[in-house]
Amino acid sequence: MIDQIRVNLYRNSYTIYIGKKLLDQKSLFTLVFKKKNNLIITNSTIKDIIFKKKNDSLFKIITKIPYYIIPDGESYKNLCEVEKVISFLLKRSYGRDLNLIALGGGVIGDITGFIASIYQRGVSFFQIPTTLLSQVDASIGGKTGVNHILGKNMIGSFWQPNGVLIDLDFLSTLPKSHIISGMAEVIKYAIIFDYKFFCWLEKNILQVLNLQEKELLYCIKKCCKLKSMVIEKDEKETSLRMFLNLGHSFAHAIETYSGYGSWLHGSAVSVGIVMAAQLSFYLNILSKSELLRIIKIFDSSGLPIFGPKNMLPDDYLELMLRDKKVLNKVIRLILPISIGQVKVFPSIDKDFLFNFIKIYQKKIYFFGLR
């Protein structure tokens, strides 16, 4: 069985395929590799897994189709690596008929998509996400880019893929920590859009973490449907898509401060969403009971709920003021007002935010909740 979800964007429409052993299907193989000038971009970890023949389909493919290896890790998501790939393409005279295939997690997807958007003013690319985080979030929606030393994802573009192939078999090769990291984005969707999904996760999150096929498939499909709905209504993030940034202002500050790759993205997002929920409670918006449920679901998943011990309130504010969501030096935050509903707060006072972070960092039992 192959599930299909259509992302309707007029000329940029494409399909998300979800299932197992997808590239064994001749129709999907032809769809991805129909052009002559294909190039797979992957990382060193995925390459090692493939050449150990842990995935027979990919072993057969990658021995016939050219590939380019980027070192594994968030620290390589930068313009230096982009220039290396583009030099590789130019030296081998790849033209505008090039088709790039992003085989990897969010880092590979972001870099490949960005290169596809700028190489000779745009070439096609496919997403084959291999991590839970990229399967439920990063591979869908056309956000591409790289990090700058002063801020995460500060250089990029919107460039939709020609399709997304989500193969559940990849997840069995991941370390447990990466499965747990991906759950942060899953929980994010429930908090933003769907109270019933949140309740479902409270009951089934361990089955998903243990890669039980029925629950895992439902979870991934649910997230893909929610993100597709958002992208169709707001492709370039001018309104509804902004909600997907819940917790990310805090999270990106943590990742930038710590050095890219020191914190898994999902771990930083977990802390960021907990901070956003606590801030909402601090503002007398989110109820005590719902805050506790949000904290508990992250904590019970094995995700962190506190940021780096040595990161000061000034560090958060300095980095958050460089965030893409800041307008006229005013910090805008997405905060939950209940489970299943969020709101943009367009002008959070810096002094108020500073005092909130000080209280949060003292771990005063979540403002008396424990």
Active-site amino acid positions: 121, 143, 185, 227, 237, 241, 245, 248, 252, 265
- Report the alpha-carbon distance of residue 112 to residue 43 in Å, rounded: 11
Q: With contact defined as beta carbons under 8 Å apart, do 35 and 43 qualify?
A: no
Q: With contact defined as beta carbons under 8 Å apart, do 251 and 271 qualify?
A: yes
Residue 64 C-alpha from the chain's centroid: 30
- Report the alpha-carbon distance of residue 40 to residue 132 in Å, rounded: 20
Q: Tell me the two tokens of residue 8.
A: 């309707």
Closest CA to 321 of 357, 286, 350, 287: 350
- For the stretch 280-289, contacts whose Cβ atoms lie closer than 8 Å and that sit 24 or more positions apart, written own/partner, are 280/335, 280/336, 280/337, 281/367, 282/356, 282/359, 282/367, 283/335, 285/335, 285/337, 286/335, 286/336, 286/337, 286/338, 287/338, 288/369
87: left (phi over 0), alpha (psi -120 to 50) or beta: alpha
Q: Is the dihedral of CA 100, 101, 103, 106 positive or negative?
A: positive
